[in-house]
Structures are given as structure tokens and as C-alpha cells.
Amino acid sequence: MPTALITGVTGQDGAYLTQLLLQQGYRVVGVMRRSASSDVIGERLRWLGIRDAVELVDANLTDLSSLLRVVQAARPDEVYNLAAQSFVATSWQQPLLTGNVTGLGAANMLEAVRLMHPSARFYQASSSEMFGLATTPEQDESTPFYPRSPYAAAKLYAHWMTINYRESFGLHASSGILFNHEGPLRGIEFVTRKVTDGVARIKLGLARELRLGNLEATRDWGHARDYVRAMHAMLQQDVADDYVIATGRTTSIRRLCQIAFGYAGLDWEEHVVVDHALVRPAEVHVLLGNAAKATRVLGWTPTVTLEDMVAEMVEADLARHRSRLVG
């Protein structure tokens, strides 16, 4: 039975990846940081009905010795580094914490693997935000990076450290440059979930308006369930490498609102209010990925359309709010 060690196991991708690996017969060890709210932190794993199938261990990406101990004890075949301060807007408020966790945290994890168990295969969760002020209409593995936030700068450091450990120490370390990926387990602060949650509240009469920032930005949005398949596929290759994972379609926030409100039979223009306080200090205007390499080498393609994903998310948020109303 292969063992996978996942940091960020309580996040959206951690939950879906755990589900996929359990289905494939893995033993999954999840790294959880200690916190006073630990009892609610496993909510996404619980939602998928897999909370008790994961071994949760205490460690923190900012504490190398805790990672050394965890890697030594678990002796994983595969390590997935998904943990991060992952919200772009917060990274301007907490730039140093973001650098410590999202950037140096990845370096700590690479060190733990190199020192304790260098035969483990390593996956780094890189991000399309690294392209930032993109210099080409479509972004692939050869597109230059231009990070536009402390988050993106930290992710870029982690990305290059992953490549550096591959080239310097021969680690089987791969980096997935994932474009935005969403689903009903997405954190409420991200725009897709904020919109679908807003639609559900308005539909149920719990709210009248939804405040958003820049509606003109466009993103290449896929479903997280599809994207964790790509992470796993990368670690099954003989040779470690970097891959862009994307749908190849970009959609504005405005259009997203139209789709989500429309699904619930609502007119988005009657409810969405632009709040300039939510506009970011520097914006990533357009992201559009080209995942041809992943399709060619990994045989990976996305299966869920934006419309179907938004429908799933609105339904899940309606169900959540309805159950709270009843309870």
C-alpha cells in the first residue's frame, strides 16, 4: 500500500486529493497545524465522508523540525505540498507571514524530504498567479513570470526551489502550475464561492446584495476534482517535470455572476454592488492557460465545464443555507 503525505490536507485540494488517493488504495497521512479551532478544521474531509480514513499528524510548515519528524515517521512514497497562505488579497495585509508559509514553508518541506527520505516523490502546488501581469495571451510552461502580489512572489520562490532541488539533488520534484480551480469546498473568500454563496443567500431571502470588487478581471476556472488527478499523474511519471493545468477558457467575474445568478433564476444586475474597497492594490487582469503539455504527457484533460461547476456550487450553497434555516 503506497503512502502519501499531504500538507494542506484540510483545504479544498487536500480534501479532493485525499479522496482520490484513498480510492486508489493509498494510506494518506495529512499534516495539520495545531490550532484552537482544530475541531472545525476537518470539515471538508467530513463533507466528503473521509475524515476518519486519514491519519492526521501535527506539524507546521514554518517549523522544520516538525516536518523532519513527520517525514521520518510516515516514510511517504509521495509528498504533496498543498499548504499555503493561499488568498491573494490577504497577502498584502500579511506579506511576511505569506512569505514564511507559502515560500519558505515549501523550502522547509523540500529540506525535510531531502534529509529524511529523498526517494519520496514531491509535488509543489505552484500557481497561475505567478504569471501575473502576463506577457502573452495564453500562458504555458515557457511563459515568463511576473508576480503581482506577495502571494505570487512567495509561490514563485517555492516554484524555483522545487526546480532547484530537482536539479541540485536529483529529487523527483514536480511543480503543477495550476490555474484557478474551484468547487463546493472552495473557501468562501474566493470569488467563485463568494458569488455562489451570495446567490444562495439572496435566493433564500437571507440577503439582498452581494458586494464585489473588480468585475472585469478574467480567470481560467476549472474544477478542483479534475485538478487533483493531474497532481497525482505528475508523480507517476518516470521523470519529474513542471506542468500547466488549465481549461483553456477564460471568463470574467461579470460573466460568472451572470451564470451563477441566472442558474438560480435571478438577475445579477439587481443584486451585485461594486465596492471599491475590494479592488486590489495590483490586479492580475487576465489568465488563460494552455495545458497541451499535460494532455500530451499525462493524458490529462478537464471534464467539468464552468456552467456545471457553478451549478454544483450553487446547489451546495443552497443546501447548506437551507439546512441552517431548518436547524
Binding site for ligand GDP (CB under 6 A): 88-89, 129, 180, 189-191, 194, 212-214, 217, 219, 253, 278, 280, 283-284
Pick the catalytic residue from 66, 91, 126, 127.
Answer: 127
Pick the catalytic residue from 26, 91, 129, 149.
Answer: 129
Radius of gyration (Cα) for the chain, nearest Å?
19
Q: Is 151 an active-site residue?
A: yes
Q: Which residues contact 244 (CB under 8 A, 6 or more apart)?
A: 128, 139, 140, 141, 177, 179, 289, 290, 291, 293, 294
Q: Is 38 an active-site residue?
A: no
**CB atoms inside a 10 Å sphere around CB 49:** 9
Closest by Cα among 198, 236, 264 to 24: 236
Q: Is 127 an active-site residue?
A: yes
Q: How far is the CB of 41 from ligand GDP (least distance, A)?
A: 21
Say how far apart CA 200 and CA 196 lie, in whole Å: 6
Pick the catalytic residue from 151, 157, 165, 243.
Answer: 151
Closest by Cα among 276, 40, 317 to 192: 317
Q: Read off the DSSP letter of residue 234.
A: H
Q: How far is the CB of 203 from ligand GDP (least distance, A)?
A: 19
Q: Are strands 251-252 and 218-219 parallel, antiparallel or unpaired?
A: antiparallel
Nearer of residues 167 and 307 to ligand GDP, judged by Cβ? 307
Nearer of residues 41 and 89 to ligand GDP, judged by Cβ? 89
Q: How far is the CB of 114 from ligand GDP (least distance, A)?
A: 29
Nearer of residues 265 and 281 to ligand GDP, judged by Cβ? 281
Nearer of residues 110 and 210 to ligand GDP, judged by Cβ? 210
Task: Please list the active-site residues.
Answer: 127, 129, 151
